[in-house]
Amino acid sequence: MTVVLTAVVAGCANPAPPAASGPSRETGPSGQTGPMPTGQRDVIVATVTADGAGPCYLVETEEGHPYALYGSGGRLARGQRVQVQIAPLTASVECGPGQRALIVKLIS
């Protein structure tokens, strides 16, 4: 799975993606703060807000929308821009503040 996001990595209670350049893009509900609707998949471009190696990552879009991502993304550095395909997170995992989402694919 490849999801590209710029994320801030934070500790999470339970058991993440490379950077991308270019304009920030969200194809999902940008104002949503709760869980994503089941079955919905979006691609976001974001900036990592904390260094980390996963499985939890914190990122924020250019529009200021925070995401708490869970998945396999490797080591991400604060300030790194990533493009990530995300889906609803159905597991009861808490990765920090922001809209919870599962990393489907790290695109760049």
Question: Residue 91 in contact with residue 100, Cβ under 8 Å?
Answer: no
Q: Identify the pLDDT of residue 60.
A: 98
Q: How confident is the model at residue 92 (pLDDT cuts 50, 70, 90)?
A: very high
Total domains in the fold of the chain:
1
Q: What is the mean pLDDT of residues 41-56?
A: 94
Q: Identify the pLDDT of residue 40.
A: 72
Which DSSP string do the residues of 60-73 spell out, in sequence order? EETTS-EEEEES--
Q: What is the CATH number of the domain that holds 21?
A: 2.40.50
Q: Identify the domain containing residue 46 by its residue range.
A: 7-106
Helices then strands (H, E): number in the chain?
A: 0, 6
Q: Does 2 reside within a domain?
A: no
Q: Identify the pLDDT of residue 14.
A: 44
